[in-house]
Amino acid sequence: MRALLLAMALVMSAATCCWGAGALVLQSGKDGASRDAVRGLAASYPGKMRVVVLSEYTDVDVVGLVREVRPQVVVAVGEAAVAASAKVRDVPLVTMLSPCISHRKLPHNVCALNVVAEPGKYMELFGAMRKRRVGVVYDPDKSGRYLRQAVQTARSYGVTLETMEVHSPQEVQSALEKLKGRVDALWVLPDSTVVSVVNMEAFTIFSMSNRVPVVSYLNQHLHNGAAASLVVDFFDIGRQAGELCLQLLRKGGVGAGGSVIPPRKATLHTNDGVIRKLGITLTAS
């Protein structure tokens, strides 16, 4: 019923709001990161916006909504929104806060804003920590594209990435065992196969047992024993998304996509207790 009411409401809006000049924003839920990203989008996109929070409805036919409301651009915020908009092809689609989509080959109408800082920023951090052998556990289907870029970037910073490929969460702990004695830091990527409560505990145990710092992309992992995190600015990602929408429309929309864009801003956070315990000194890289 709520899905039907949503469709009716948007169709009525289309008849009265000149939707041809607007953006249809699909927001997965009401978490803080999504809210910040949508606020940033509104700050940089000058056209009309209609925000649909998917978690408030049992089912949403996104293709049908796009057909009815005829937006100039669709913006998907978060994994659920990206999945729901996967079949949108005739309208430019901008995605953000979706780690998985940035690791796949994108359709011609899609541009993705990555949820993790570009590899060079992490290499600078490893340099500041004086760590040159960095272990990465990853699923190629979830973070392979980003990691390939990181391996190339690491070489120019004098950092070697020791990579361990896994295909299920159950393989992560054995992969960590194989990294013993081979690395002086661990790097956690936004990889849903690797990142779980149990596996983050395994990272922490490895870190403390081998005096190896863990560097992550989430502040939450600092509470789990990570030494440092580089966290992107979600509001600014939203601003980037708005600017990207305008660029796509100027280029003609569909056919101008297919790229993954790195976020502009990332902030370093540290767990000072872990830093001291591991005897790490952060220096200018």
Q: pLDDT for 117-158, tens place per residue?
A: 999 999 999 999 999 999 999 999 889 989 999 999 999 999
Predicted TM-score (pTM) of this structure: 0.84
DSSP 167: S
Euclidean distance between CA atoms 83 and 96, whole angstroms = 12
Euclidean distance between CA atoms 125 and 211, whole angstroms = 17
According to DSSP, the β-strands at 93-96 and 110-113 are parallel
| Residues found in the chain | 285
pLDDT of 4 higher than 60: no
pLDDT tier at 107, thresholds 50, 70, 90: confident
Neighbours of 259 (CB within 10 A): 12
Tokens of 186: 């661990």
Q: What is the pLDDT of residue 17?
A: 42
pLDDT tier at 8, thresholds 50, 70, 90: very low
53-70 residue pLDDT tens: 999 998 889 999 999 989
CA distances from 76 to 94, 108, 110, 118, 249 (A): 6, 16, 10, 21, 16
Q: What is the pLDDT of residue 15?
A: 39
Pick the CATH number of 119-216 from 3.30.70.1350, 2.60.120.460, 3.40.50.2300, 3.40.50.300: 3.40.50.2300
Q: Letter for the amino acid at 200?
A: M
According to DSSP, the β-strands at 228-232 and 266-270 are antiparallel
The terminus-to-terminus CA distance of the chain in angstroms comes to 57
Instruction: Give 96's Cβ-side CA count (13 Å radius).
Output: 35
Kindly state the average pLDDT of the residues 18-32.
82
Euclidean distance between CA atoms 191 and 199, whole angstroms = 12
Euclidean distance between CA atoms 274 and 225, whole angstroms = 7
Per the CB < 8 A criterion, the answer to whether 254 and 90 are in contact is: yes
Q: What is the pLDDT of residue 108?
A: 86
CATH C-level class of 2-115+234-265: alpha beta
Domain locations in the chain as residue ranges: 2-115+234-265, 119-216
